Structure 1
């Protein structure tokens, strides 16, 4: 299929709102039932050949090992355990409330305690409303869900290619149910003291210097899909650095600046994949050079650190 097909936010806004909350329900389950990893790496979803997965979880908390998958080809929520038991139900035709109840029932049938603390949206406008009371968000258009997954899959591989050029500490490429973005983050070993009042989310996520990269489908602030990058803490003079291609720009995010390449501009480029890689590299160098990272020492051309292979 076409690389980076058109997908304006207003085309699927209602499906996105519903699906975001479906994913937060499963994501909060992942948060509860998986061993904690630094920088919240245990929390996000990963891509699969038909959708996204929670990855296996359980066992450490007394529950059986179980996995939850969103299948955006067959449009099902699939839960299974290590004994081979499997439960599924359609994604279409559910409100957030009915999805929540059906999901709880599915986990119960697998012998999993599916209860989650704070069973309401995180950092969304209706954060004060319990999932079980949300009958408002109930739109799920299968074609839109499939296109969402297809674009995620394409961007995932571009970010994987970009990640191969860095030999330092880096996160997986993963899909956060909090912000509904696909992201990968590079870290320096330099600690960043965060004040207690910053909150646990920020203190863990930004305990080291980072340059982060990703893609999201748009929101109320920037209502179109974009590739992005940011450096934290933001070094002085960051926005004076030149980004590539020339259509990329620095924008104020309200608490710093984002390097932004609009999806529509990447699509129009003669080589969209190369254009996105060029953008990510320019944003990385802008932040890392000003932060004093040893870019040459951290480089990993072609994903190779074997010195013999690298010479040949």
Structure 2
């Protein structure tokens, strides 16, 4: 299927899903002033991002989703690493051990990061240059640091970076889950005719739809495998009492043992798309929505994610 590329000027495994703010870079502007000046940016984000795509020639990255999430090659300060796209992560995270090995400045911070993957330490890492070859580069970046060794073991790849919403909120990215390719572009750079797409309903960055016929707000979490993850606090709202459930004991990336609750054949409706996935119960990390839609929902599809324009478009076959 053809699409129009608009010319521009350069400028899981429930693996990550960190509920954390981005590290605050030095700035004289308050967070409120930053949001007012540029509502697309997340609080505390000040990225020096340059697109490398050229008009008439679109570069893409081949990715692997054999473990249920998108992993692909990237460069950090010239070193080839594995990266994960995680729309459930509020910020980008870089592995602390790797950062020290290549001589980056790592500052340990108090407190920890709590997400679906468990509890992990946090640091601030400065002097990072992140490049997706042929697509974009972020220079002189300050990102969060944490221990990603558990993620590396889960994915069977030495993973050095989780690309989160501080970056993904200010660009668009096109995922062809059939060809296993991802393309990063400026927001609104790809245009489609209405007859070519299914537009997923989105309000304030969240999908709206139904779970078993009951209205639900849902965050997209490409850092989680599977299709549907429902918060524990609202589980009974969507899953009737007496429903058959399965329980599995697992270990999160922080080393803690937990019990996962599943049920089969839940009716999920988002826009004109209806499916019958299994549903997993997950912790109450964010009360602003009811469920997470994982990468499994998008497997086999071609999807444009453009959070800046509040558009999620699925291309028809």
* TM-score when normalising by structure 2: 0.30
User: Which has the greater radius of gyration?
Assistant: 1
Which structure would you say has the larger RCO, counting Cα contacts within 8 Å and 6 or more residues apart?
2
- Bigger proportion of residues as helix: 1
- Bigger proportion of residues as strand: 2
